[in-house]
Amino acid sequence: MKRLWLVVLIVMSSWAHAHAQSGAALPGAQAPTNCASTGKDGVAELHRDWLMIGWERNNGDPDFNFRIDLGRYYDFTRNDLSLFDDFDPKLQARNTADGYGSIWYQFVPTFKSVHHKITEQPRPIAVGPFYSHSILEFVFEVTPKKGDVMYLVSRSSILWRCGPDGWKIYREHNSARPIPASVYKQAK
């Protein structure tokens, strides 16, 4: 695992350094002062809220709406994103927030509830003047409207970009796998 982190950091640092050397303006970097390094608008809290507010679902919640439920975390004006989740039947990275949101309309409305527990808190790392990376691990319980309850563990890796509206998700990769119910129930 440490080796994977090292490779991710080297690649991201190399990219940021090469991009800076090219003299090209970093996309979305027009207003870097809008991006908090800590607190409620910092990357760690945003990553937690993205999961625990954006994706948390209770029985009886209003209908799922990706733009309303998760709009704070995504930039819907960009088409240079890379957003991936292995829940996507096509297993493809989406380059817009709306494209990414579209995959969830086939799943979330079929859930009665979705509850998460964070098992590894986000540890943000700055990877350039206008980018920050965070990884979060969590377990979750999906109770469908029909069928058996599912328990999964997921790892979320997000590269955040600083723009005029603060930190927004620029690159996202989520992978999940089934776990026994006991693992979810024992998580704190």
Q: Tell me how far apart the alpha carbons of residues 15 and 34 are, in angstroms, rounded to a whole number.
A: 23
Write down the pLDDT at residue 33. 64
**Where exactly are the structural domains of the chain?**
28-186
Q: What is the DSSP letter of 85?
A: E
Looking at the domain that runs over 28-186, which CATH code has it been given?
Answer: 3.10.450.50
Contacts of 50 (CB under 8 A, 6+ apart): 70, 73, 158, 169
Using pLDDT thresholds of 50, 70 and 90, give the confidence band for residue 10.
very low
Strands 131-144, 111-120: pairing kind = antiparallel
pLDDT digits 0-9 by tens, 127-161: 878 999 999 999 999 999 999 999 999 999 999 99
**Coil, helix or strand at residue 32:** helix
**Assigned token pair, 180:** 């026994």
Q: Which two tokens stand for residue 78?
A: 């960009």
Q: Please state the pTM of the whole predicted model.
A: 0.81
Q: Which helix (H) or strand (E) holds 14?
A: helix 2-22
pLDDT band at 32, cuts 50/70/90? low
